[in-house]
Amino acid sequence: MTTPDPLELDVRPQLQRGEEPFAAIMSATERLQPGQALRLVAPFRPAPLFAVMANRGFAVSDRRRPDGAWEVQFAPLEGAAPDAGLAPGSAPGAALWPDPSMTLDLAGLAPPEPMVRILEALAALPAGEVLFALLDREPMFLFPELTTRGHEWAGNFAPDGASYRLLVRSGGPDRGVDHG
Amino acid sequence: MIGRQLSRWTMAWFASALAFLVASLCAAVAGAGGPGHWSGGAALAVVHLFALGWLCQMMLGSLIQFTPVLCARPVAVPGLALPALLLTGGGTAMLAAGFLSLDGWAPGQGLLALAPVVLAVAFAMTGAMLAPTLVGTRGLGGAEGRMVALALVALGGLWATGAAMGWALGGYDLLPVALFEALPLHILLGAGGFLTLAAFGVSYKLFAMFLLAPEGNGALRQAVFGTASLALGLTLGLTGLALAGRGSIPLSLLAAFADAAAVALYLAEIRRLWRSRHRPKTEVNMRWSCAALGFLGLSAALLPPAILWGGRWAEAAAFAALAGWLSTLTLAQMVKIVSFLTWIQVFAPRIGRCPVPLVSDLVDARATGRWLGLWVAGAAGGTLALAAAQASGFQLAALAMLAAALGLVREAWAIRRLRHLDPARRPGRLPPLVLPAPPQGPDHDHTRSARA
């Protein structure tokens, strides 16, 4: 099996325009094919990103290019796929997260109310803290919003299939980026 | 992208379908088609603008949007959504023009043979998007995904019978197809097969969501699937016979009874869902879906006499299914879906950053209820007019349906433009009415493969 060429993402133009590149990086990560690495080009060494990507199952290697830019390669680790039964897109390291500091019982609420409650709660949750929510169904429209806002999540159905369990690790209180 | 579940082209599919709906109703009001007059070129064009342009496009667009929600997995090759939409719309227009050529309209000549090829590519593209998602572990394991997969099998049969008849009418006798035998099967595979089975599958999920009712794959759902599979198997067997130039009335009756039994079981399942709901007061989309379910029962009851005696029985059964059951359901749920998707698109990014309205604030429920009521009255009137062979009554019913359709198109427009929301709560920038929002800088700029 051949390994696909890395996907290259140059965030320098975005940073120059004063935009926050985190969402673009997460979006690129999710577009990767199995085994494909992400090559990030940035004007500085994006150290805060290393932990986020390690949690998603990527090994990090970086070098400074002659033109002064930093080139960081995030290569997927073998066997870092999420546990079986977790929704696609779930963070692989969720089993190692700290105990939830907040619990929301959202059973019996009509969509999109559970999404509103979860995002409002996360807007005030410090980075690294974990929220647990119990829902009636898989919140399919919430996942992209969590990713865009820099939160990590993992979810699955309870064994009886009647409720859905969602863990979200806060990426930090809301940065207030309006991308609507 | 995993987790990005909004199909970019859903509004464009809906808009294209609504354009075909309005066009077909205008032609029906003008007198193209009517009781006892469905075999002429103009009548066949109207029927296909309605069944293929309106209903099938609406269903295909909805399946591309909702199959990921049913199966909790994204569709494969989402980039095919736009070409599939363009080819379905183009193929429908070509088919309608081809039918008009039967009445002597010269520009349509040859299109009757070409349209099925275009539609085959469109359906294959949609199948390529949906099938990998449906056959995944959580797809066929669930009642919803299995039903949609069965519907896609029926779509194949619908296309095969349609293409064989189109080519025969266009002068290419590739198969010894007996039009007289194939036509009822074509209608059955379309209205009863593809459209109804797909509606069953999607409704399991959406009804449970809108009623706050528990989901699940109980014995009733398995019985619906088993009976529907039997009915579809029989219909496809009959199709094989018809394409070989033979027919079998007793087998057709058996298929009709199996269809009616599947409908009865489905209605029992929806009744169970309705009674187990946690939401005491239902919304306008669910209230008018009940009228659609009534038409479903009526069309299933009319099926055996339609197979036996044909004529006005068959016309009334097909109309009750297409205009009464499928269109009422689609129009009622369209209003809800457009408001939900618009809310997600506009307000999801604002949650936690500023107050957001409720989804129901985006809709004028009273106006929607009035237009849906007018539609149902038109569909009931049209069914009666066909059963009583009243041509002017049918035109009047079509006029009521046209007015209702235009009212609902206006409502969909108002929802997209947030017209029912206090101007102070409307964001300054709204997503485009129909086309997808242009790619956002942070999501799409500056990525390229490093292959070069």
The residue type of B183 is L
Q: Under a CB-based contact definition with an 8 Å cutoff, are residues A38 and A7 in contact?
A: yes
All structural domains of chain A with their residue ranges: 7-76, 94-169
Where does a domain end: B84, B118, B140? B140
From CA A82, how far away is CA A91, in angstroms rounded?
A: 6
Q: Which residue in chain A is spatially nearest to B352 when comparing CA positions?
A: A120
By Cβ distance, the residue of B72, B442, B443 closest to A138 is B72
pLDDT of residue B139: 60
Looking at the domain assignment, is residue B231 inside a domain?
no
User: Mean pLDDT lowest for which of A165-174, B154-163, B219-228?
Assistant: A165-174
Of B91, B110, B140, which closes a domain? Answer: B140
Mean pLDDT for B168-191 is: 83
Whether residue A162 lies within 8 A of chain B, CB to CB, comes out as yes
Q: pLDDT value at position B440?
A: 54
| pLDDT recorded at residue A84 | 55
Which phi-psi region, left, alpha or beta, contains residue B250 (left: φ > 0; alpha: ψ -120 to 50)? alpha
Does residue B122 form part of some domain?
yes
CB B212 within 8 A of CB A108: yes
Check CB contact under 8 Å for B216 and A9. Answer: no
B164 is a domain residue: no
Q: Is A115 on the interface with B (CB under 8 A)?
A: yes
- Mean pLDDT over each residue of chain A, to the nearest integer: 82
Q: Is 60 exceeded by the pLDDT of residue A82?
A: no
What does the pLDDT average to over B92-110?
93
Residue B87 confidence (pLDDT): 98
The mean pLDDT of B11-20, rounded to a whole number, is: 97
Torsion sign (Cα): A178, A179, B5, B8:
positive
pLDDT score recorded for residue A2: 60
In a domain, B434, yes or no: no
Domain membership of residue B114 (yes or no) is: yes
From the CA of B1, how many Å to the nearest CA of chain A? 5
On chain A, the residues whose CB falls within 8 A of the CB of B212 are 108, 110, 136
ipTM, 2 decimals?
Answer: 0.80
Number of domains chain B contains = 2
CATH 3.30.110.40 fits A7-76, yes or no: yes
Lowest mean pLDDT among A78-87, B231-240, B247-256: A78-87
Which of A72, A140, A153, A170 has the highest number of chain B CBs within 10 A, making it the mutation to test binding with B? A140
Residue-level pLDDT at A44: 87
Mean pLDDT of B380-404: 97
How many interface pairs between A and B have CB atoms less than 8 angstroms apart? 132
Identity of the residue in A8, A13, A108 whose CB atom sits nearest the CB atom of B278: A108
> Cα(B74)–Cα(B130) distance, rounded to whole angstroms?
9
Query: Which pLDDT band, with edges at 50, 70 and 90, does A1 fall under?
Result: very low
- Chain A residues whose CB is inside 8 A of the B340 CB are 111-112
Containing structural domain, residue B388: 311-348+357-416
* Residue A174 with chain B: CB contacts under 8 Å: 352-353
Q: What is the pTM of this model?
A: 0.84
State the DSSP string of B372-408: HHHHHHHHHHHHHHHHTT-HHHHHHHHHHHHHHHHHH
Strands ordered across the beta sheet of A38-42: A58-64, A70-76, A38-42, A7-10, B447-449
When the pLDDT of each residue in chain B is averaged and rounded to a whole number, the result is 90
Residue B260 has pLDDT above 90, yes or no: yes
Model pLDDT, residue A47: 78
Positive or negative CA dihedral for B389, B392, B395, B401?
negative
Which CATH superfamily includes the segment(s) A94-169?
TusA-like domain (3.30.110.40)
Top residue of B358, B445, B451 to mutate, by most chain A CBs within 10 Å, is B445
Rounded to whole angstroms, how far apart are CA atoms B79 and A75? 26
Q: How far apart are CA B404 and CA B397, in angstroms?
A: 11
Give the C-alpha separation, B160 to B184, whole Å. Answer: 13
Give residue for tokens 């029992």.
Answer: B268
Does residue B188 carry a pLDDT above 50?
Answer: yes
A171 chain-B contacts, CB cut-off 8 A:
none
What is the least distance, in Å, from the CA of A47 to any CA of chain B? 19
Q: Please tell me if the domain spanning A7-76 has the same topology as the one spanning A94-169.
A: yes
> Who among B4, B278, B447 is closest to A7 (CB)?
B447
Q: Does the residue B248 lie in any domain? A: no
Chain A residues with beta carbon closer than 8 angstroms to that of B345: 180
Nearest to A178 among B3, B353, B359 (CB): B353
